[in-house]
Structure 1
Amino acid sequence: MNLKDELTDNQLYTLKILKTPSAGRALARWLMGLSGLFFILLFLPWQQNIRGTGKVTAFTPGNRPQTVESAIPGRISSWNIREGQFVNKGDTIVTLSEIKDKFFDPNLLTRLSEQVEAKRSSIESKRLKAEALKTQIKALRSALDVKYKQAQNKLKQTELKLVSDSVDYEAEQIRFRNFESQYARNKTLFEAGNIALTKYQDIESKYQESKMKVVSSENKFLQTKAELINAQVNLAGVQAEYQDKISKSESELNATLASLYESEGDLSKTRNEFANMQIRNDQYQLIAPQSGYVVKAMQAGIGETIKEGEAVVTIMPENPDMAVEMYVKAMDVPLLSKGRKVRVEFDGWPALQVSGWPSVSVGTFGGEVQVIDFVNSRAGEFRILVTPDPEDEPWPSILRIGSGTKGWVMLDDVPIWYEIWRNLNGFPPSLYEEPLDLDSQKAKETVEKKTTK
């Protein structure tokens, strides 16, 4: 009996040793529960996203920090601001003094103005002289016409007179020949004693008178012929004389006009110098181009010389329209489109971001993609500009330009198991349809609504 009891006790002891402890059973239950939970989680939705880093900037280029440069070289005479000070548009930042000896004269503008007036008066005088020469040339041309017509009339009268004198001369010659033959016959008769002396003397007297008339008419004819030659010479001389006067006046007119045009060029050059000097005088005061805060002074001290185009201070505009300048990988750019929602995390701002579940994120702010660069900004990266989402919480007012940021451009929902598989294989995020810009998307929705109606 004792042996039987001892064997039974030994068997029970073995069973007790081989029995699964309660702690192991609890661990197994926990592992099975966690495995089931993990399996269920694999089928939960996960919103794909594109990650990027960047910094805070201003959306409008005119609202970004800018340097104020000096348009002229000069020496700093006085500072009218300090770093961190707010300045209004048009406030004087720095006053400069001249360093080029060409502009040392304090009355340079007055002297240039006097030169302009002197050249303007000279131009007016030359213009009046040119007008007078034009009037003189016109008068000479009129006088040439009158004198030429007078000379032509004189020539014509002389030609007619020469014709008349030639006719008279020929008539006197005929008359003289008649008297000569008559005289010869009567002389023969007188010598023969056939006529009286008185008659012979009368005929001789008429013969001598006719001879005298022939000589007189010949002299008159030759004189008229000489007058004709003189009239012809006078006709040519009148044209040559007045043409010479006109040519001299035209030459003087051309010289006056050339001098006038040269003076007008000098006047334009002097007026240009005067205008440039007026502008240069304004450049001695370095003016704030817009209202904002003086961030940093690039120069220091009094009397320091600065070069043309050298930066003097940096100004941050007063109310910049905040945006985030974010860089994404080139492989992700085809998935982006204007209007895509973005979650932004700012450096120094406490945040907890679950990228796939933006609804449970804390400390991040909403944004929208507004600009996607057409060329890469960095090696293998493209820049996008993100502005605040008007439907989300406003961005912090204490943000500063240049603050670091992280961002997640939100895409479509996929199961968690697919996202894990995609990341393990290095595949890019996927889209169910081609990405559209915000404007194209709204137009598509409008068309769909009209079709439904």
Structure 2
Amino acid sequence: MNNQKSTYLNIEIERELAQHPFEAFNAIYKIHKRKYIKKWILGILAFCIIVLFLPWTQNIRTKGKITTLRQEARPQQLNTIISGKIVKWYVKEGDMVQQGDTILQLGEVKSEYFDPQLLERTQQQIIAKKQSIDAYNEKAATATTQANALREGMQLKLASLDNKINQQQLKIVSDSMDVLAAINDLNIYKRQIEAAKIMLDSGVIALTEFEKRKANYQTALAKKTSAENKFLQSKQELLNLKIEKNSTVQDYTDKISKAEGDKFSALSQAASTQADVSKLENIYANYDIRNKLYYITAPQSGQITKAKKAGIDEVVKEGDMIVEIVPAIRNYAVEMFVSPTDIPLISKGQEVALIFDGFPAIVFSGWPQSSYGTFTGKVAAIENNINTNGNFRVLIAPDTTKRKWPAQLKLGGGAKCIALLKNVPVYYELWRTINGFPPEYYTAENNTDNYKK
């Protein structure tokens, strides 16, 4: 009975299979269909071979950040030149200021500047010193006049003495002639007395006649002596006049020297006082400039950030940072850092592809012309000194002939830099990469002169 039931079920199953055939077998085992796997393999292989011969742009990828080419366009610290205490703030963080706008007001903390009339008192000292200079100059002028008067008096006195000397020299000549005349008379009387003595001895003349001639001889001898004394006295007087002349020159020279000494002393005091005036004027100018430094102003237009001091009456020292100003000048550049092994491949004017943070981009590393969302720049400067991170700093300026950089860029923002090198086939790039060889050296198409232009 059981065997009959089993046979009956098998017959029913075969009948059902004959009426409704299953397709699983045909789907898995496609024995009766043609195969295209060889064509696919050959097609893929041909495509890979074609790709190997496509041009590939060698590149150096590195990170960078947004900066500026000009130093004055970068964020700068605003420092105080003098020490003081904060009296009033005129701005707050985030405010935009124009060049010359007041940032804050400082008060004085040093005792030597507490006097509210410091400038007026210093000006009074300057005026008093200048009046002293005028007095010293007048004293020097008076001494000059006195010295000139003494010179004129000396000339007159010397002229008078010269006249006296000339007169005395004439008198000496006259006295010398009187001496000669007295000597001649004495010789005549001497011969007469000698003749009278002979005649007296011969008895030709009387004794009274002899005595008379002897008296004449004595008189002539006295006249000779008197004439010689007068002649010597005249010579002595001439010597005295010469001594008086020398004494007059010496006396007047002393007086003139004293007057000139007073003059130069007055000029020296005037010069010293002038130095004091210059010193006081310097102090006055310093005080005036210091008063202006109580108000700290913005050196250029920009945004106020990073206020280091936050209160009223808070004391700041010389050189302390007050705030930081981010200039409004938009002269952006990108600084990228290149390793020493790649720096020989970078040259001035070389093209660099940039991807800025926050701006979507699709990048094909070896085909920059097929990339989307990238911006172009050119190498503007290469620093010759390595930084603390062991890399060289390279500045990239915008390429004005290509797509304009976004206006939304901010200083310090990040950027990915792709320095474009030489165009080579893909197979060569694969071979170079596998063997670890460096990229080909690249020379920028635009030379430096064209880039500057």
Aligned CA distance change for structure 1 residues 22 and 360 (closer, same or farther; 3 Å): farther
Is 1:351 the equivalent of 2:351?
Answer: no
- Do the aligned partners of 2:349 and 2:444 also contact (CA within 8 Å) in 1? no
2:296 corresponds to 1:286: yes
Q: Hey, what does 1:93 align to over in structure 2?
A: 103
Distance in 1 of aligned mates of 2:68 and 2:303: 15
Q: Pick one of 68, 80, 94 that aligns with 1:84.
A: 94
What TM-score do you get using the length of structure 1 for normalisation? 0.81
Residue 439 (str. 1) matches residue 438 (str. 2):
no
- Code of the aligned partner of 2:82: I
For the residue of structure 2 that corresponds to 1:331, the secondary structure is coil
Residue 162 in 1 paired to residue 167 in 2?
A: no
From the superposition, tell whether residues 330 and 194 of structure 1 become closer, same or farther in structure 2 (CA, over 3 Å).
closer
Percent sequence identity is 39
- Aligned partner of 2:414 in structure 1 is 404
Distance 1:378 1:412 in 2: 30
Q: Distance in 2 between matches of 1:286 and 1:23?
A: 90
Q: 1:255 aligns with which of 262, 265, 270?
A: 265
User: Per-residue deviation at 1:40?
Assistant: 2.5
Partner Cα distance (1:264, 1:128) in 2: 15
Q: Which of 112, 119, 142 is the aligned partner of 1:132? A: 142
- Partner amino acid, structure 1, of 2:399: D
Please name the residue that 1:373 is paired with.
383
Report the Cα offset of residue 204 of structure 1.
9.5
Do residues 328 (structure 1) and 338 (structure 2) align? yes
Residues 222 and 340 of structure 1: CA distance in aligned 2, closer, same or farther (over 3 Å): closer
**What is the total number of aligned residue pairs between the two structures?**
424
Check whether the contact 1:337–1:438 (CA below 8 A) recurs between aligned residues.
no
Q: 1:127 to 1:223 in 2, by over 3 A?
A: same
- Alpha-carbon separation, structure 1, partners of 2:443 and 2:121: 71
Partner of 1:384: 394
Tell me, yes or no, if the aligned pair for 1:81 and 1:93 is still in contact at 8 Å: yes
CA distance in 1 between partners of 2:301 and 2:389 (Å): 36
Matched residue, 2:328: 318
Query: 3-state DSSP class of the match of 2:300?
Result: coil
Q: Which of these residues, 304, 316, 320, is aligned with residue 314 of structure 2? A: 304
Task: State how far apart, in whole Å, the 2-side matches of 1:77 and 1:312 are.
Answer: 13
Contact 1:329 1:380 in 2 (8 A): yes
The residue aligned with 1:75 is 85
Letter in 1 for 2:272: E
- Paired AA for residue 383 in structure 1: R
Where does structure 1 lack aligned partners over 5 or more consecutive residues? Answer: 1-15, 444-453
1:51, distance to aligned residue in structure 2 (A): 1.3
Aligned-partner Cα distance in 2 for 1:260–1:25: 119
Name the CA distance, whole Å, in 2 between partners of 1:211 and 1:291: 120
8 A contact 1:64–1:320 mirrored in 2: no
Aligned position for 2:66: 56
C-alpha contact 1:335 1:435 (8 A) present in aligned 2 = no
* Deviations 1:12-33 (CA, angstroms, capped at 9, x unpaired): xxxx9xx886999566655554
Q: Which digits, 9 at most, give the CA deviation of each residue in 1:287-336, with x for residues without a partner? A: 10001110221222111111111111100111220111111222222222
- Checking the alignment, whether the CA contact within 8 Å between 1:336 and 1:435 is kept in structure 2 is no
Among 86, 91, 114, the alignment partner of 1:104 is 114
Alignment partner of 1:366: what SS? strand
**One-letter amino acid matched to 1:405:** A
Residues in 2 aligned to 1:274 and 1:442: alpha-carbon distance in whole angstroms? 52
1:76 CA drift (Å): 1.2
- Structure 1's 415 and 126: CA in aligned 2 closer, same or farther, altered over 3 A? same
Change in CA separation of 1:442 and 1:72 when aligned onto 2, cut-off 3 Å:
closer
Does residue 248 of structure 2 align to residue 238 of structure 1? yes
Deviations 1:363-399 (A, max 9, x none): 2222222222233235442222112222222222111
CA distance in 1, matches of 2:359, 2:168: 120
Q: Is the 8 A contact 1:337 1:436 kept in 2?
A: no
Q: CA deviation at 1:136?
A: 3.1
1:394 counterpart = 2:385: no
Q: 1:211 to 1:339 in 2, by over 3 A?
A: closer
Deviation of residue 203 (structure 1)? Answer: 7.9
User: What stretches of structure 2 of length at least 5 have no aligned partner?
Assistant: 1-25
Q: Give the 3 Å change call, closer, same or farther, for CA 23–57 of structure 1 in structure 2.
A: farther
Which whole-Å CA distance do the structure 1 matches of 2:41 and 2:395 have between them?
47
1:3 corresponds to: none
**Structure 1 Cα separation of the partners of residues 146 and 450 of structure 2:** 81
CA contact (8 A) 2:353 2:419 kept: yes
Q: Which amino acid aligns with 2:447?
A: L
Change (3 A) 1:379 1:83: closer
Normalising to structure 2: TM-score of the pair? 0.81
**Aligned AA for 2:251?**
E
Distance change (3 Å), C-alpha of 1:22 and 1:341: farther
Task: State the Cα RMSD in Å.
Answer: 3.5
What is the alpha-carbon distance in structure 1 between the residues aligned to residue 379 and residue 284 of structure 2?
51
1:208/1:321 CA distance change after superposition, 3 Å = same
Q: Which one-letter code corresponds to 2:181 in the other structure?
A: A
Structure 1 segment 259-274 matched on structure 2, within 5 A: 259-274=269-284
**Amino acid of the structure 2 residue aligned with 1:403:** G
Distance verdict in 2 for CA 1:363–1:278, change over 3 Å = same
Query: 2:21 matched to which residue of 1?
Result: none
